[in-house]
Amino acid sequence: MKEAIVQGILTGLVLSTFMGPIFFMLIDLGINSSIRAVAYLAFGTFISDLFTVLLIYFVAGTLISSTTHLDYLYIIGGLVLTSIGLLNLFRKPKEKPKEEINRKNLMKIFVRGFLINSTNPNVFFFWFGAIMVAVQHYGNSTSLVLTHFFSALTVVFTTDFTKGYSASLLKPHINDKILGLLGKASGIILIYFGVKLMFFH
């Protein structure tokens, strides 16, 4: 159980290095809006991730139990993680234009966070690869797998909120160079997990 929590925390930290649209929205809200708005956006992302993890886990579990070609699933998950890692490694960060956000409509911000995260294919592919790794590692033990991902989701929510909360304090330091370094670090980590899943499972 302790290992599942630690590994889940590491998984959450890896996902927290992603620089998708939610990242830039959190920064914008932290600088231009309120802490409550940041919390609603982070919670919307959390719920989206939770639904995605549960959906993939139970579908993946059905596939694993009904096929003798488990290696193909490992290869697919590994290729997905490696591909995202390569994209992050070589992608140049693009600055997201600022938009006007209605501070009073917190539910709208929650829904926006949920929808943007749910329609980002990189998020789905990351969780698919991560779940394949977890199922292989824990022998498809439901309690350990769910503990792993509950820990991961808690870390993601906490770090998302922290990004928005810290944005105003870090504003002078948030530049293209730092975003590029974060992207490369995320890419290297994802490539490592992808290669491990394909060849060392």
Measured between its terminal Cα atoms, the distance across the chain in Å is 20
Q: Note down the domain range covering 177.
A: 2-199
pTM of the complete model beyond 0.75? no
CA distances from 108 to 28, 33, 95, 114, 187 (A): 16, 14, 23, 10, 32
Residues of the chain with pLDDT under 70: 19-21, 31-33, 60-71, 73, 77, 92-104, 121, 140, 168, 170-176, 178-180, 182-183, 201
Rounded (5°) CA angle 79-62-80: 10
pLDDT for residue 153? 92
On whether the CB atoms of residues 114 and 45 are closer than 8 A, the answer is: yes
Total domains in the chain come to 1
Summarised one tens digit per residue, pLDDT across range 171-191 is 666 666 766 676 677 778 778
**1-22 confidence digits (pLDDT tens):** 778 888 888 888 877 777 666 7
For 189, the token pair is 């980590």
